[in-house]
Amino acid sequence: MIPRLLAIVLCGAVAAVGCATKSFVQEQVTAAETKLAEKVTATKAGLDKRADTQETKLRETAERTDENREAIDVAAEKLKDLDARVDDVNAVATGARAQADEVAAEGAQAAARAEQAAAATANAEARLTQRLAGRNKYRVVDTKAIYFYSGRIDIRKQDVTTLDEVAHTVAADPNAILELQGFADTQGSDRYNRVLARERMEVVMRYLVQQHSIELRQLHGIAMGKVSLAAGEKSTPEIMAEARRVDLRVLTPWSSWEDRTELDQTPVAPPSATMEALTEAPSALPMQVHQSEASEASRLESPARRRAPAFLRTLTPQDLGGE
C-alpha cells in the first residue's frame, strides 16, 4: 500500500513539476519567440532599408546609365560628323596634293622652259658676239675668169655663160660680194693698160647690173693694169692671152654662210686662219656704191638707232648676216 501511495505521490509531484516546467518552458519559448520576432523585424527593416538604398542606387545608376547612353549617342553622332569632316578634309587634301603635283609639274616645265630660254638667249648672245667679231670676215665661194681679145673690151660669147653663173651665185645671197680685178697684157704703155683694164672691169660690172640686176653695193672692183712677167718669162701668145682677163671672186660673210649651213643641217667648221686671211681689204669702189651705202645708213638712222651705242649705230643688217 505504501509503495502505491509513494508512487501516487511521486506521480503527483512529477506532474506538478512537469506542469511548472511546461509553464516555464512556454514562457521561455514565448520570450525567445518575441526576441526572435523583434530580431526578424529589425533584420527585415534593415534589409528593407538596405534594399531601398540599393534600389535607389540602382535607379541612380540606371539614370546615369541612360545619361551616359545619351552622351554616347551624342558622341557617336559627333564622331559621325567628325568622320564626315575628316573624309571631306581628306578629299580636299587629296585634291590639294593633286593640284600641288600639277603646280610642281608646271613649275618643272616652266623651269625647263626658262633654262631653254636662258640657253637660247646665251646662244643668241654668243652668235651676236660672233657676228660682231667676224662681221668683216668673208669666205671665198667661187672664182672665175673671163678673157678678152687684144685691145678690146667687149665680152666674148663663150664667156657669157661664166658671167651668168657668177651672177646667179651673187644673187643667191644678198650679203655676197663680187670682187673684180681687171688686167691687160704687156703691149702698150702703163697708162693705156690701166685704162683698158678698168674699161674691161667696168663692162663686166655693167653687164651684171643690167642683165642680172646685181646691186652696186655687191660689186668691188679695181683695175690692176698690165700683168708683170716673171723673171726670164717671154711674152708668148698664150701668156698674152692669159693676161687679158678680168678675175671674178665671189665672197660671202662667214655668218651668212653659217646661217645657210644651219638651214641645210650641214656641220659648220670654225673659221680657220686661212679664212681669217680673207678679210675684205679696202678696194677702189665706184662712186655709186659709196652713195648707195650712204643712203642706206641715213635711212636706218631712226630714233631708236640714235639712242643706241655708237659702235652699234655703225652696224648694218648686212654686217650681222641679215638682208
Q: Look at residue 224 and tell me if it is in a domain.
A: yes
Report whether 196 contacts 151 (CB < 8 A). yes
pTM score over 0.85: no
Q: Look at residue 176 and tell me if it is in a domain.
A: yes
Q: Which 3 state secondary structure label does DSSP give 76?
A: helix
Q: 204-239 as b/e, with b when 16 or more CB fall inside 10 Å?
A: bbebbbeeeebebbbbbbbbbbbbeeeeeeeeeeee
Q: Look at residue 82 and tell me if it is in a domain.
A: no
Predicted local confidence at residue 300, as pLDDT: 43
| CATH number of the domain to which 220 belongs | 3.30.1330.60
Q: Which helix (H) or strand (E) holds 247?
A: strand 245-253
Predicted local confidence at residue 20, as pLDDT: 64
Tell the burial category of 148 from Cβ atoms under 10 Å away from its Cβ (0-12, 13-18, 19+): buried
Q: Look at residue 269 and tell me if it is in a domain.
A: yes
Q: Look at residue 251 and tell me if it is in a domain.
A: yes
Report whether 245 contacts 144 (CB < 8 A). no
Q: Look at residue 18 and tell me if it is in a domain.
A: no
Domain that holds residue 238: 139-296
One DSSP character per residue, 143-179 reads EEEEE--TT--SPPHHHHHHHHHHHHHHHH-TT-EEE
Question: For residue 197, what are the β-bridge partners?
Answer: none
User: How many residues are there in the chain?
Assistant: 323
Alpha-carbon distance values, 217 to 194, 213, 258, 293, 298 (Å): 23, 12, 22, 7, 15
Predicted local confidence at residue 298, as pLDDT: 42
Predicted local confidence at residue 285, as pLDDT: 36
Question: For residue 179, what are the β-bridge partners?
Answer: 220, 249
Question: Could you give the strand order of the β-sheet that contains 138-147, starting from the edge strand earlier in sequence?
Answer: 138-147, 245-253, 177-184, 219-226
Q: Determine how many CB atoms are found less than 10 A away from the CB of residue 278.
A: 15
Predicted local confidence at residue 319, as pLDDT: 56
Overall number of domains in the chain: 1
Q: Which 3 state secondary structure label does DSSP give 270?
A: coil
pLDDT by position in tens, the chain (length 323):
676 777 777 767 666 656 667 777 788 788 887 888 888 888 878 888 888 888 888 888 788 877 888 888 887 888 788 778 878 878 887 888 888 888 888 888 888 988 888 888 888 777 777 766 666 688 999 999 999 999 999 999 999 999 999 999 999 999 999 999 999 998 889 999 999 999 999 999 999 999 999 999 999 999 999 998 888 788 889 999 999 999 999 999 876 655 555 555 544 444 444 334 334 433 333 333 334 444 444 444 444 455 555 545 555 655 555 55
Q: Determine how many CB atoms are found less than 10 A away from the CB of residue 252.
A: 23
Q: Look at residue 219 and tell me if it is in a domain.
A: yes
Q: Look at residue 186 and tell me if it is in a domain.
A: yes
Q: Report the C-alpha gap between 280 and 137 in whole angstroms.
A: 7
Q: Which amino acid is at 285?
A: L
Q: Which 3 state secondary structure label does DSSP give 250?
A: strand
Predicted local confidence at residue 287, as pLDDT: 37
Alpha-carbon distance values, 72 to 64, 65, 68, 78, 79 (Å): 12, 10, 6, 10, 10
Q: Report the C-alpha gap between 35 and 26 in whole angstroms.
A: 14
Q: Report the C-alpha gap between 263 and 172 in whole angstroms.
A: 14
Q: 253 φ, ψ to 5°?
A: -60, 145
Predicted local confidence at residue 288, as pLDDT: 38
